Structure 1
Amino acid sequence: MRKMMRDKALVRRLSSCETMGSATTICSDKTGTLTLNKMTVVEAYLSGTKLNPCDNTGMMSSSVASLLVEGIAQNTAGAVFSPENGGAAEVAGAPTEKAILSWGLKIGMNFNDVRSKSSVLRVLPFNSVKKCGGVAVQVSDTYVHIHWKGAAELVLASCKSWFSIDGSVHPMSSDKYNELKRSIDDMAMSSLRCIAFAYCTCELTMVPREDLDKWQLPDDNLTLLGMVGIKDPCRPGVRDAVQLCSAAGVKVRMVTGDNVETAKAIAFECGILNAKDVASETTIIEGKVFREMSETAREEVADKITVMGRSSPNDKLLLVQALKRKGHVVAVTGDGTNDAPALHEADIGLSMGISGTEVAKESSDIIILDDDFTSVVKVIFSNIKA
């Protein structure tokens, strides 16, 4: 027990130690476990044009820039604190939110000033099913702006128009859509998390004042404002840890909500995937595809799956159940409240000590105190030797 504490693992259920030594597969999160969870915007596309460097918005129309920073400042779960003495602003929030807000500051956003110019009417927080979040803000006595932010390819699919550099709006032709989709794919293949920003307007008279909490924000006729690619580097030592697992016959599988191409690129960096794996179609799968299979079909492909992208917490649960039916001893990492069912279902549930919610920790058998995948591997090998 003391050795496991030194290896950054807090055991909640003693019986899990014996089970851990028999693990045949690990279903791991990507963000914060395989990666550092230190995110930075490194690429940006605004008005259909790639910015170089990514904070160079000098060529962009002031009207588009104004809408973009309004969306960044209002549609966020983070915050920016500006010291009274004029020092550097401090950004707070989840890593993705911090990365976007920090980029917003670089392109000239005054967080408090922007937020003071409009009032929030309705917020739809980001959720793991839609992969996006929205906010409605009143900007005048007659108009409301509705801003959306989320998974780039999903937001793009809802856009019927886009802004050019001069601020004019153009219909989203199939050629333009394909051009933007290629930009998303290029960023994803560079292991970047791709986020898009879009908005639409509606008249204030269309807002149901008495039932604001039931108002479903319009999301099917949007205008694209821009896209960013966010880098989250792999943790040092992860590649060696994955190779150690493979040599011991423990298969590592990545389950992430990120774009399939982003997940694939990170999996290559971490050593979870190799060129031979990509030859198999079922090695890399989208959560929605797996979810819509019959129970028998899921059981048949589960063994072959190495990377699952655009997955929801329920997809992780379905994968765990399918692997257990195939006779695997399954270890699962998770940090969110929605991960609790998969952590509970797994033979060994491993929650994250830093980023994990209390619900996730309560549902787990072991808490990884430093959120590091290499600590997960140490726990396995400590119990194999024991």
Structure 2
Amino acid sequence: MGEPERGDATAAGSNEAAAAPEYYRLSVGDVTRSLDTDMRSGLTDAQANARLADFGPNSLPAAKKIRLFQRLLGQLHNPLIYVLLAAGAITAFLGEIVDSSVIFGVVAVNAVIGLIQESKAEAELESLRSLIRTDARVVRGGQEHLIPSEDLVPGDLVRLAAGDKVPADLRLTRLEELQVDESALTGESLPVVKSDQAVSKEAPVADRLSMAYSGTLVTSGEGQGIACATGPDTEMGHLHRLVGAAVPLQTPLTAKLAGFSRLLSVGILALAAVAFAIGLYRGNEPAEMFTAAVALAVGAIPEGLPAAVTITLAIGVARMARRRAVIRHLPAVETLGSTTVICSDKTGTLTENQMTVQTVWTPDRGYEVTGSGLAVEGDLLGADGSGADLDADRALRWTLLAGSACGDAALTRVNGGWSVVGDPTEGAMLIAAAKAGLQTEAVDALMSRAATIPFSSERQYMAGLFHEKGGGYLVLAKGAAEKILDLCNTEMNAEGQTRPLDRETAMQKVSELADKGMRVLATAVQTPGLSGRARFAEEELRGTLVFTGIQAMVDPHRATVPAAITACHTAGISVKMITGDHGRTAAAIAAQVGLVDGRNPGRVLTGADLASMPESEAAEAAGRATVFARVAPEQKLRLVEALQARGHIVAMTGDGVNDAPALRRAGIGIAMGSIGTDVAKDAADMVLTDDDFSTIEAAVEEGRGVFDNLVKFIAWTLPTNVGEGMVILAAILFGTALPILPTQILWINMTTAVALGLMLAFEPKEKDIMSRPPRDPARPLLTRALVMRTLLVSGLLVAGSWGLFHWELAHGADLAEARTAAMNVFVVVEAFYLFNCRSMTSSAWRVGLFSNKWLLLGLTIQAACQMAITYLPAMNTLFRTAPLKADTWLLILATGLVTSLVVGFEKRLRRLSRGVGDI
């Protein structure tokens, strides 16, 4: 048919490849013809070289690096910084070198702090590229070669064996018991048994059994396939594009601070221009008015805010790390506190990611298996609570023996615990047998396997011929219940005797356990004493086996998860499960952990359901549903965007490559530290070191505490900036000398922000923090209550500083002394007001004066700084200050005390009225 077109090799499901052949639904012959290859000899070297030149290497595009200089410039991209830079330039032009140097110094400090805290250049695209790098066994010209995976081209015939990483998207043409771990791509927790048969067009990625996708891992068996997509055209390449296209959102606080900064910048410039115009109108010198306008602008800008926000978030990062949540991007700390929806993966987050047998049922009895995970400690308890007796229940003994011996998994010791090598379901059955005293060594001492009928997707069972030590041969089998029962005409009772098979009762029990989300496997035995002789030809097994029982296993939910989900619901946070597993399994786990119940029945949607819905209906369904099963990567991203369109702040968890686009797009992406892929971790804002959902709830609590402390800082710092601007404006309007100078304003703003304001970052969380709903994402940063509080305190600051400035001048003080007194009024009032800001509603006495010892340290540092700028000659010269008398300090302290009492009274009125609004 000629050379394949470039688009023909694009992975199915890509938006860019709507017209490309969907190879998973084509026959092997059609695929061979479409890609112009030979299913025995593969491509010729000439064909391969031509296609490599046409299609390019089998790799993903490298991530674009951000230069250090560009990142540094990014730290200056803020309207408030622009105003400060303009102010510094104007003061330098006017010859005020000290003032200009201080202003530029403040800008430089903020930029360096921002640069240090900024995360390294995005690494998820590079991780995706490295994920698919491997060597490939390819057949060209009838000869097998080992080549770098980058040299693969569409049409290459690739061979696979256990342990291989799939090097490209392959349409499988031949296989023997091939199983592939696709969890990183699809979220499916168990290896997938592959087939060479075409599947339907509607099949999602997880159900395309005829395909082996790039970057996945062969766990058992072997096979070969034709490369139908390479590099950016693979399913992994499709995810690469999704990751690149998923633009990270601004966090709620950074978005609000950006809007606040723009508004404040416009207001400051307008006010400075008005003040300058008024001064000129009154006949003042232009240079003098420039200085006054700069002082007004510098005073109104909260210079310490960027640094304070960064450091407060960094303190939150340290607190979260102690609770096993590692933050990769600082703003994610605050985002957690505003989260309204958590989209959680199932496997490893809500569950332990360790298959565990929980129920063993025999035709006569049922048993509960205690213990969970990869621990051999536990018991098999009967209905009366007594332990299992293998001699008293022979059917139980054979059920456990079949589960343990008829498999290829093994238990190994790792760091004092146990690890399963091989299929996790087989490992679960090994552990169940060990709990009853049938450890692997004991089973091996009883019998050895002589031959095997391996498991296959068509057969759906595995059987082994075993030689009993000192005896004859027997057959053990395990597999899907329907298939095992098809091989049986009889069943075993507790005494070890056979009787006619009661298939209806057995299948009823299977359905009952499956409805609970369990994976059910049945076991059977054939011994010479039961069937006359051991026959092992597959066609002779039907009707000769004896059904012994079933084992039902599940990946159990984490013990801490139900309480964590309840806490989230109490806090007004909706929790949704998004998983690649089947709907029934997901729904059962959701019911067990409290995601759905009688009051919150929720709704289960599959990826197929979502694909069939119109965009508008799907967005509505995303809000109503609680469980999303069998979803594709694009749908995870689509769900996150649909929830965001409804005004939600979305936290998305994930561990696989398929989760990366949604993790990056979400308000906060949360990756698993233990089982997560590097791609998921690089795309995320936060990594859970223990993979536990309850850690997310703890992180949300810490995030709310951080957000509270940021709001407290803003509520504390704004009155100072407004007051400084107002006192400068008053001086211009009344034609008097400036009560404070630009350098003094910068001193006030930077020292108090560090020594006083940052102490609020150490405030303990308030007791009701997880009993209130999330902060409304649409709620403005400057609420009406906060504006009123700011105007109240700034008015008191203006009155106190203006009044004391003129009081000092009237009583013989020179201009430097009067300005020093006015400057200290601002600092002392800020110190008194700091205690009021420890809670936006409760009184300082109720919070406790000594519950935050960092405040006392900050007050001590600030007092030392004020003594230095007031009394040290060098500081007097640099900042144009002068020493103060004792009676002046009494007036300053009185101003601070009055301000604290007035604010305390205002808070009491707010509590009593309950209608004025919260800060």
Which residue number in structure 2 is paired with residue 24 of structure 1? Answer: 340
2:559 to 214, 222, 235: 235
- What's the CA shift for 1:226? 0.7
Q: Which runs of 5+ in 1 are unaligned?
A: 82-88, 125-129, 149-154, 207-220
Residue 359 (structure 2) aligned to one of 21, 29, 43:
43
Tell whether the 8 Å contact from 1:137 to 1:145 is kept in structure 2 after alignment. yes
Q: 1:328-339 counterparts in 2 under 5 A?
A: 328-336=648-656, 339=659
| Structure 1 position 251 matched with structure 2 position 583 | no
Matched, 1:93 2:417: no
For the residue of structure 2 that corresponds to 1:2, the secondary structure is helix
Instruction: Report the CA distance shift for 1:317/1:13 in structure 2 as closer, same or farther (over 3 A).
Output: farther
**1:361, distance to aligned residue in structure 2 (A):** 2.8
CA-to-partner distance for each residue in 1:29-70, whole Å, 9 max, x for gaps? 3454345667764532123631315744444446x8446523
Q: Take 2:640 and 2:354, find their aligned partners in 1: how far apart are those partners?
A: 31
Query: What is the aligned counterpart of 1:109 among 438, 454, 458?
Result: 438
CA shift at 1:368, angstroms?
0.7
Partners of 2:524 and 2:619 in 1: CA distance: 41
Query: Aligned AA for 1:196?
Result: L
Are residue 170 (structure 1) and residue 493 (structure 2) matched? no
Structure-2 separation of matches of 1:361 and 1:121: 41
Query: Cα 1:224–1:15, aligned 2, differ >3 Å: closer, same or farther?
Result: farther
* C-alpha distance in 1 between matches for 2:455 and 2:682: 29
Residues 79, 255 of structure 1: alpha-carbon distance in 2 compared, 3 angstrom cutoff: same
For structure 1, which segment, 327-336 or 164-173, has the greater mean C-alpha deviation from structure 2 after superposition? 164-173
AA matched with 2:449: K
- Cα distance in 2 for partners of 1:222, 1:255 equals 41
Between Structure 1 and Structure 2, the one with more helix by share is 2
Select between 362-371 and 7-16 the one with higher mean Cα deviation: 7-16
Query: How do residues 226-375 of structure 1 correspond to structure 2 at under 5 angstroms?
Result: 226-228=550-552, 232=556, 234-236=558-560, 238-255=561-578, 257=581, 259=585, 262-268=588-594, 272-278=595-601, 283-285=602-604, 287=606, 290=609, 293-294=612-613, 296=615, 297-308=617-628, 311-312=629-630, 314=631, 318-326=635-643, 327=645, 328-336=648-656, 339-340=659-660, 342-344=662-664, 346-375=666-695
AA in 1 matched with 2:404: I
Cα deviation code 1:147-176 (max 9, x no counterpart): 43xxxxxx4455544634234562734x54
Contact 1:25–1:329 at 8 Å: present in 2 too?
yes
How far residue 137 of structure 1 moved from its aligned partner, in angstroms, is 4.5
1:196 to 513, 518, 521: 521
**Shift in Å, 1:104:** 0.7
Q: CA 1:240/1:102 → structure 2, altered by over 3 Å: closer, same or farther?
A: closer
Paired position in structure 1 for 2:319: 3
Give the partner amino acid of 1:106: K
User: For residues 274-312 of structure 1, what are the alpha-carbon distances to aligned partners after superposition, in whole Å with 9 as ceiling and x for unaligned?
Assistant: 42212xxxx13264764664354543322112235xx34
SS state at 2:501 partner:
strand
Which residue identity is paired with 1:265?
A: A
TM-score, L = length of structure 1: 0.65
- Among the aligned pairs, what percent are the same residue? 24
SS in 1 for 2:621: helix
Q: 1:231 to 1:20 in 2, by over 3 A?
A: closer
Q: Please identify the structure whose Cα radius of gyration is greater.
A: 2
Residue by residue, what CA displacement relative to the aligned partner does 1:45-103 show, whole Å, maximum 9, x if unpaired? 123631315744444446x844652333443644156xxxxxxx974228876553222
Quote how far apart the aligned CAs of 1:366 are. 1.5
Is the CA contact (8 Å cut-off) linking 2:404 and 2:433 kept in structure 1? Answer: yes
Cα deviation, residue 234, structure 1: 4.3
CA-CA distance at 1:354 after TM superposition: 2.9
Q: Mark the CA change 1:198 to 1:205 in structure 2 (over 3 Å): closer, same or farther.
A: closer
The alpha-carbon distance between structure 1 residues 379 and 122, as it changes in their structure 2 partners (threshold 3 A), is same
Look up the equivalent residue of 2:325 and give its one-letter code: A
Give the match for residue 511 of structure 2.
181
Q: Which residue pairs with 2:349 in the alignment? A: 33
C-alpha distance after superposition, 1:188-247 (max 9, x if no partner):
3xxx845433579996588xxxxxxxxxxxxxx9968412356846434x4554344334
**TM-score normalised to structure 2 length:** 0.31
Deviations 1:14-36 (Å, cap 9, x if unpaired)? 45445444432112234543456
Q: Of Structure 1 and Structure 2, which has the larger fraction of its residues in strand?
A: 1
**How far does residue 177 in structure 1 lie from its aligned partner after superposition?**
2.3
Asked if the contact 1:332/1:343 (under 8 Å) is kept, the reply is yes
Please state how far the C-alpha of 1:321 moved relative to its aligned partner: 1.8
Equivalent position amino acid for 2:501 in 1: H
Q: Could you tell me how far apart the structure 1 residues matched to 2:550 and 2:637 are?
A: 37
Question: What stretches of structure 2 of length at least 5 have no aligned partner?
Answer: 1-316, 368-381, 468-472, 527-534, 540-544, 711-919
Match of 1:371, SS state, is coil
Q: Secondary structure at the match of 1:322?
A: helix
Give the whole-Å Cα distance in 2 for the aligned partners of 1:203 and 1:184. 30
Measure, in 1, the Cα distance between the counterparts of 2:618 and 2:417: 46
Indicate the SS of the match to 1:276: coil
Separation of aligned partners in 1, 2:607 and 2:365: 31
Q: Which residue matches 1:377?
A: 697
Query: CA-atom RMSD, angstroms?
Result: 4.5
